[in-house]
Amino acid sequence: MNQDKSHMLTSKVSLDEVTKKLSESFDYNFSGESSFEVPNIKIPDTYSTGLIVGQSGSGKSSILQQIGKSEKHYWSKDKAVCSHFKNADDAQEKFAAVGFNSVPSWFKPYQVLSTGEKFRVDLARSLKNGAVVDEFTSVVDRNVAKSCSNAVSSYIKRKKLKNVVFASCHYDIIDWLNPDWVYDTSTKNLTYRRSDRRPDIELELLPCGVEAWSMFSKHHYLTEDINKSAKFWLCLWESKIVGFGSAIAFPSGTVKNAYREHRTVVLPDYQGFGFGVRVSDAIAEIYTSKGCRYFSKTTHPRMGGYRNNSPSWKATSKNMKVRKDNSNKNAKWELRQVFSYSHEYIGACND
């Protein structure tokens, strides 16, 4: 066991009628004092990510306190969550880092967010060198836990953050968080895991009708509208519906036999796995494999940034241009100046 000697922590409370009655009822000898052993784990001086894991009450928080102090974040009730970051770029980057990619929710106040969204934005504000995060993923659905762990791990390694430690009672996040070391409070073992691979993800893309859009419409970052003449697909992961994609004919006087991306949406609980770009690529491959040309234009920074760096997509002359567009009368907010990304899919064979 790779650790130093443990030490004891003691807490005291006042005895009263309640403690007396309950201790007598359960034949528990209680003097008002409780003691528990806290191991002094010997971790590296420098690392990327660490995880303390174990059942509730096993001492995770006490060990974490030896490493650092968790931050408590204040959220103004009359400010959007995005307004609590240094600037727009910082907010966008940190939201992406935790898989919080539902753009309309960026502009909501904290108190109206779902439990999963609150978890993500709290984590977004905590990300920095030396951060410690207690009760990581304890209050969220396991799909949110895994997707967020995957996203935050990628961000920490990409930004080269150092000495970020999480404590959690859930073991299912270990492969997705991919920490450099794990201390298990149940076995009292410290394990090193550098460069372990994340679990493989297999997605299934199935044709569907336009009626499936009702599950996803409110989660699209701009509009709930959809063109009924488009072709539609559902994305499934482990037999669960996680995303939606669609494509439509691209009429042009100069480009023949062409199609373009129409709507691509991933349900909030699954944002952070990278499902959106995989759905988009798969649909593009369907068309190009038939000899068609396939284009996409988006204002979403995550999707646009991915395509700028992907060898499967080629930027068009309109990529990263500011354009005027107020043609979408039913958009969730009125568009004036739009910074958009524009690409043509050139095929997986170029990867």
Both 301 and 240 in one domain: the answer is yes
Tell me, yes or no, whether 106 lies in a domain: yes
Could you tell me the two tokens for 98?
A: 């935790």
Mean pLDDT score of the chain: 88
Find which of 26-35, 164-173, 189-198 is predicted with most confidence, using mean pLDDT: 164-173
> In the prediction, which pLDDT does 351 show?
45
Q: Inform me whether the pLDDT recorded for 3 exceeds 60.
A: no
Both 180 and 296 in one domain: the answer is no
Q: Which helix (H) or strand (E) holds 106?
A: helix 103-106
Q: What is the DSSP string of 75-90?
A: --TTS-GGGGSSSHHH
Is residue 256 very low, low, confident or very high in pLDDT (cuts 50, 70, 90)?
confident
> In the prediction, which pLDDT does 2 show?
45
Tell me, yes or no, whether 197 lies in a domain: no
Residue where one domain finishes, among candidates 167, 192, 217 = 192
Is residue 335 very low, low, confident or very high in pLDDT (cuts 50, 70, 90)?
very low
Both 99 and 144 in one domain: the answer is yes
CA 142 to chain centroid, in Å, comes to 12
Q: What single-letter amino acid sits at 71?
A: E
Q: In this structure, what CATH number is given to the domain that contains residue 262?
A: 3.40.630.30
Both 323 and 346 in one domain: the answer is yes
pLDDT digits (tens, 9 = 90+) for 61-87: 888 888 988 889 999 999 999 999 999
Q: In this structure, what CATH number is given to the domain that contains residue 188?
A: 3.40.50.300
Both 129 and 55 in one domain: the answer is yes
Both 180 and 211 in one domain: the answer is no
Full domain range(s) for residue 58: 43-192
Residue where one domain finishes, among candidates 192, 221, 251 = 192
Both 290 and 210 in one domain: the answer is yes
Could you tell me the two tokens for 283?
A: 């649909």
Tell me, yes or no, whether 33 lies in a domain: yes
Tell me, yes or no, whether 337 lies in a domain: yes
Both 50 and 68 in one domain: the answer is yes
Both 182 and 207 in one domain: the answer is no
pLDDT digits (tens, 9 = 90+) for 232-245: 999 999 999 999 99
> In the prediction, which pLDDT does 103 show?
84
pLDDT digits (tens, 9 = 90+) for 127-145: 999 999 999 998 888 988 9
Q: Inform me whether the pLDDT recorded for 339 exceeds 80.
A: no
Q: How far is CA 76 from CA 4, 109, 227, 288, in A?
A: 43, 7, 39, 48
| Backbone Cα Rg of the chain | 25
Both 58 and 141 in one domain: the answer is yes
Q: What single-letter amino acid sits at 199?
A: P
Both 137 and 231 in one domain: the answer is no
> In the prediction, which pLDDT does 109 show?
97
Residue where one domain finishes, among candidates 143, 164, 192 = 192
Mean pLDDT of the region 319-335: 59
Tell me, yes or no, whether 198 lies in a domain: no
Q: How many domains does the chain have?
A: 3
Higher pLDDT, 349 or 243: 243
Mean pLDDT of the region 102-111: 92
Tell me, yes or no, whether 125 lies in a domain: yes
pTM to 2 decimals?
Answer: 0.77
Q: Please check whether residue 283 is in contact with residue 303, taking contact to mean a CB–CB distance below 8 angstroms.
A: no
Both 75 and 17 in one domain: the answer is no
Q: Each residue of 164-176: b (16+ CB within 10 Å) or e?
A: bbbbbbeeebbbb
> In the prediction, which pLDDT does 11 show?
77
Q: Which helix (H) or strand (E) holds 263?
A: strand 258-266
Q: What single-letter amino acid sits at 19?
A: T
Tell me, yes or no, whether 297 lies in a domain: yes
pLDDT digits (tens, 9 = 90+) for 275-323: 999 999 999 999 999 999 999 999 888 889 899 999 999 999 999 887 6
Tell me, yes or no, whether 14 lies in a domain: yes
Q: Inform me whether the pLDDT recorded for 122 exceeds 80.
A: yes
Euclidean distance between CA atoms 88 and 94, whole angstroms: 10
Q: What residues contact 193, with CB distance under 8 A and at least 6 apart?
A: 174, 178, 179, 180, 181, 182
